[in-house]
Amino acid sequence: MRKQKHTQNVRQVIHIVGEGLTELFYFSHIKKLLGYRYSISPRLFENNSIEKIEKKIIELLKADVFVICVFDADVSRRSAAENKKLTTLKRCYEKNKNVLLCDSLQSIEYWFLLHYEDTCRHFNDSAATEQALKRYIPTYDKSHKFMEKEKWVKDMIADGKLEKACKLAEKYDGSDSYSGIYKAIKMLSFLPAHELGR
């Protein structure tokens, strides 16, 4: 009897889990614009709390997928209880090879801002970060009508701005304002296509 050769599954699927509409549309547009390979579905972006995000991570890990988790860390500054939950989540998954946590403080808008500006200054809240971003994208709005248009992402990543944002985010990692989204972009950019799932 011939021995069956064991083949390792190199097509592990990548799922992105996020907090809401902004993350969902940003990663949907960037997937199409840059040809990234991952799964993204609205059910994984339904106004998630830290508890809901963790529940989805657990569910996806059971299905043997790689999870990229994108969320805002501003809630951790407003409440000691939320800060504790965030710290616990990070500690729980920091060494897990199948989870990549990419939080931003105050919000994902700080990541967008880095495409235009070299800054790690303190922002009081996500509204202040949005206000700073509007200097570069005056029509920026968190509505479905604005977000669903691809153009704002296309303009934001043009002319080497995405690479610039990645370098700045890496430089300011751990600062008063930060974004870990560069880790996801770097991973998705450099992994060979056959390792990036379907």
Parts of the chain with a pLDDT under 50: 1-10, 192-198
> Token digits for 156?
């934001």
State the pTM of this model. 0.87
Query: What local confidence, expressed as pLDDT, does residue 93 receive?
Result: 94
Query: What local confidence, expressed as pLDDT, does residue 7 receive?
Result: 38
Query: What local confidence, expressed as pLDDT, does residue 108 receive?
Result: 95
> Token digits for 140?
């920026």
Query: What local confidence, expressed as pLDDT, does residue 5 receive?
Result: 41
Cα separation, 23 vs 66, in Å, equals 18
pLDDT tens per residue, range 171-186 = 999 899 999 999 999 9
Cα separation, 177 vs 19, in Å, equals 18
Cα separation, 55 vs 196, in Å, equals 23
